[in-house]
Each structure stands twice: as C-alpha cells, then as structure tokens.
DNA sequence: CAATAGATTTAGCCAATGCTAAACTTTCTG
DNA sequence: CAGAAAGTTTAGCATTGGCTAAATCTATTG
C-alpha cells in the first residue's frame, strides 16, 4: 500500500473543519457588509459607500469593487453616485447576522469580558459559530445574562 | 461641515474591530499550517507536503506555494522533495496555536456542544479570540470542565 | 539496474480583497 | 449660475490562496 494512501481516511475526516473555515471566509465579508449597510440605513436613513468605507476602515475604491460583487450576488442594489439599498435577500442576511452578532456579543459579556473586547471579538467569532454553538450560548445567556 | 466628515470620529472607533479581523485572517492560515505540521511531526515523525494537503483538504500545489511564503516568513525550513521542518519561531507559533485551540475546544465542550461541533467550530474561533476572552474561557473551564 | 509507479514541484490560470492616483460627477457657495 | 470643493468611480497594480495539467524527481521492484 502506497505511503500516501495510508492515512487518507483519517485525513479526510479532519479536513472537514478546514473546509468549513474556507467556506465561512467566503461569506464573512458579505455578511459584515450587509449588516453594516442595514445599520447605516436604520441609523441615518441611507447608506453611502463612503460611510461603509469609513466604518470598515478600508479605501473607498475597495468598497466600490466589493459592492459590485454583492450586487452580482443579489444582496444589494445601487446606481452610480447614489446610496446603497439591500434586496430582500440582503435584508435577510443582515437580520441573520444581527441575530448571531447579538447572541455572541451578549454571551461574551455574560462570560465576563469587557465591553470593548466583547465588541471586537464578536465581530470575528460570529462568522465561525454553528447553530448548535449559538444555541448553547443562548442557553448560557438566558441563565447568566443581564 | 462636509457631510462625510460628520461621522468620521465615531466610525474611526468602530473600524478597529474590522481591522482586527483583517489582521487575524492574515495570520490564520499560517497558524493552522504550523500547528498541523507540528502535529504531523509529533504523530508520525515527519511532515510531508502531501500530508498537509490531505489534512487541509486542498491541492498539493496550493501547499507548495503556501509553504514558500511560510519559509519566507521564517516559520518553516524545507528542501525540495524533502520533509518540512519548523523553525524556532514556527514551533513557538504552533505551541501557542495548540494552547488556544485546547482552551477554545475544551470550553465549547464544557458549554455543552457535541464533540464534532466543538472540533469544527474551534478551528475557526481560535483565531478570533483575544487573550482576555481566552482567560474568561479558561476560568469557565476550570469551574465547569470535565 | 532499468522501467515504472508514486510523490512532488512548476507553470499558468483565476477570483477575492486590498491599495493609490487620476478622472469624473454632484453639491455647495459667492 | 459658474467655479470650487466634496464625493464617487475607474484604472491599474499587488498579494493571497485556490485550482489543473504537465514536468520532474524518487523509490520500488522484476
Ligand atoms: Mn456582525
Ligand atoms: Mn463580523
Ligand atoms: Mn488550531
Ligand atoms: Mn484554525
């Protein structure tokens, strides 16, 4: 039996976690964009590309390019030099992002970390928690949250 | 006062979380590679590119290219057609990754999620937890762990 | 010890996500 | 309402991290 085949089976199982990470990373940016656009619309009535760029801390040109992809993906609509709107699917993704974000951030606070850490860490963690873990966090939160 | 300047200050603060994510993502792949290489060396005496590729679930050629970057970054050493070695810095990063991974995975288990979910979710979460959150998880683990 | 099977690297492609500088459009103002 | 200021997009570049197919090296074995 060839050397490389020897451990193929065990490896196949283990690689599932890394596949998940790669897939999470693909949706991650889209989720943060739509959630941020939803926040801007709610807070200020409209979302401009510049505001998105400022809140994300990236260049304007980067946002323009990313929004084009999100438009192709059916998440946002926009016309040149105008504000950005979310499609139905975009709002759905934004709401789901907010839900996860709220649970993760509240959970971290209930666990005893500072507000700033909860805010920062939850921005990354939210994209890598399964529904099962979210349920466990919500359960903990119901018992120990404020 | 120009429109875009109006909210610049608030945005600056908020963008810190997204900067952290972008920086986390840059180190993420390197961390998983060195941790995996360390595991292979410990389990099997040596780490071959092929084994790394199989465990990650990516093509061989991808691993070759990434290892070149890790070599430039001073994390691994290798010669063509030979096994991969970690530098001192590589081992340090691997050990630190293992430490975080252990805490996060143990924590998820203590929180009540299944072994498979803990294994999969921790692979992504480990890269986005601050030291403060790790301490909080370790504290919880000390009280509620198995 | 030569042929071949297996392992590894190279070459060349692609998409995503970042940047700066230049061009263009919109908005404000005298 | 013309010119300037502000806002936005385009153009062009770089890096990362994927892939497949072809080339090359190593190891086995008859
Ligand atoms: Mn979010
Ligand atoms: Mn986020
Ligand atoms: Mn790890
Ligand atoms: Mn990982």
Domain ranges, ordered by start, for chain A = 3-143
Mean pLDDT, rounded, for B108-120: 97
Mean pLDDT, rounded, for B84-102: 98
Confidence tier at A139 by pLDDT (50, 70, 90): very high
Per-residue burial over A122-134, b if 16 or more Cβ lie within 10 Å, else e, is bbbbbbbbbebbb
CB atoms within 10 A of CB B29: 18
Mean pLDDT, rounded, for A9-16: 80
pLDDT score of A47: 96
Query: Which residues of chain B have a CB within 8 Å of the CB of A51?
Result: 4, 7, 11
Which positions on strand C lie below 7 Å from a protein C-beta?
Answer: 5-12, 16-21, 25-26, 28
* Nearest residue by alpha-carbon distance to C1' of C25: A81
**Hey, are the CB atoms on A50 and B125 less than 8 Å from each other?**
no
List all residues 6 or more positions away from B19 whose beta carbon is below 8 Å from its beta carbon: A57
CA–C1' gap, A81 and D7, in angstroms = 8
Confidence tier at A11 by pLDDT (50, 70, 90): confident
Confidence tier at A146 by pLDDT (50, 70, 90): low
Which position has the higher pLDDT, A63 or B7? A63
Confidence tier at B14 by pLDDT (50, 70, 90): confident
Please, which residues 74-113 of chain B have a Cβ atom closer than 8 Å to chain A? Answer: 108, 111-113
User: Does residue B2 reach within 7 angstroms of strand D, measured from its CB?
Assistant: yes
> Which chain B residues 26-85 have CB under 7 A to strand C?
48-50, 60-61, 63-65, 78, 80-82
Calculate the average pLDDT of chain A. 92
Mean pLDDT, rounded, for B117-124: 97
Q: Which fold has domain B3-143?
A: Arc Repressor Mutant, subunit A (1.10.10)
- Partner residue opposite A136 with nearest CB, options B57, B113, B120: B113
pLDDT score of A6: 45
Residue B13 has pLDDT above 90, yes or no: no
pLDDT score of A22: 94
Mean pLDDT, rounded, for A104-130: 97
Which percentage of chain A shows pLDDT scores above 90? Answer: 88
Query: Which residues of chain A have a CB within 8 Å of the CB of B39?
Result: none
Residue A4 has pLDDT above 80, yes or no: no
**Hey, are the CB atoms on A117 and B140 less than 8 Å from each other?**
no
Confidence tier at A1 by pLDDT (50, 70, 90): very low
């Amino acid at each position: 039996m060839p050397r490389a085949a020897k451990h193929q089976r065990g490896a196949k199982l283990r690689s599932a976690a890394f596949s998940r990470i790669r897939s999470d990373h693909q949706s991650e940016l889209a989720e943060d964009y739509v959630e941020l656009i939803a926040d801007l619309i709610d807070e200020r009535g409209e979302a401009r590309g510049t505001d998105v760029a400022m809140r994300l801390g990236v260049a304007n040109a980067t946002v323009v390019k990313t929004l084009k992809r999100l438009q192709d993906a059916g998440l946002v609509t926009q016309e040149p030099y105008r504000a950005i709107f979310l499609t139905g699917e975009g709002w759905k993704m934004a709401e789901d992002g907010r839900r996860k974000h709220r649970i993760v951030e509240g959970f971290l606070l209930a666990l005893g970390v500072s507000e700033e850490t909860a805010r920062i860490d939850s921005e990354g963690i939210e994209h890598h928690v399964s529904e099962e873990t979210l349920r466990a966090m919500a359960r903990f939160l119901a018992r120990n949250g404020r």
